[in-house]
């Protein structure tokens, strides 16, 4: 059973376009993290959100945690080829911060 549904799985866009990746669940998470992973490397943390309704901005990336802490989104404005990679959302439940539940990932390709 996949507790975190991430969509879309694949996204191919042109440089300059905007995009949104969604991460949904029927479960409540105490925190949610977004990572970006390059082939053959470990995931690199982008952001951690812990408060329902929280919005965090990181340059052209905007992260939102749902009010009920069951869903999250990642919005990228004016995508660049350097944004290409695998984006992963991961949630932690209760005090189990050391056990992350991952979504399936979104493979993003930004063409120049």
Partner 1 sequence: KAGVTQTPRYLIKTRGQQVTLSCSPISGHRSVSWYQQTPGQGLQFLFEYFSETQRNKGNFPGRFSGRQFSNSRSEMNVSTLELGDSALYLCASSHGHTQYFGPGTRLTVL
Residues that bind partner 1 (CB under 8 A): 30-31, 33, 35, 40-45, 48, 50, 88, 90, 92, 96-105
Q: How far apart are CB 98 and partner 1 at their closest, in Å?
A: 4
- Cis omega (within 30 of 0) on the bond before 8? yes
Nearer to partner 1, 33 or 64 (CB): 33
Q: Which residues pair with 28 in a beta bridge?
A: none
Report in angstroms the alpha-carbon separations of 97 from 48, 81, 93.
Answer: 12, 33, 7
Q: How many CB atoms lie within 10 A of CB 9?
A: 11
Nearer to partner 1, 43 or 79 (CB): 43
Q: How far apart are CB 100 and partner 1 at their closest, in Å?
A: 6
């Amino acid at each position: 059973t996949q507790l975190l549904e991430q969509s879309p799985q694949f996204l191919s866009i042109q440089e300059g376009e905007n995009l949104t990746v969604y991460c949904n669940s029927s479960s409540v998470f105490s925190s949610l993290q977004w990572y970006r992973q390059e082939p053959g490397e470990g995931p690199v943390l982008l952001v951690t959100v812990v408060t329902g309704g929280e919005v965090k901005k990181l340059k052209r990336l905007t992260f939102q945690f749902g009010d009920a802490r069951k869903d999250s989104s990642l919005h990228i404005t004016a995508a660049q080829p350097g944004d290409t990679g695998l984006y992963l959302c991961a949630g932690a439940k209760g005090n189990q911060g050391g056990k992350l539940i991952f979504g399936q990932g979104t493979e993003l390709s930004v063409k120049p």
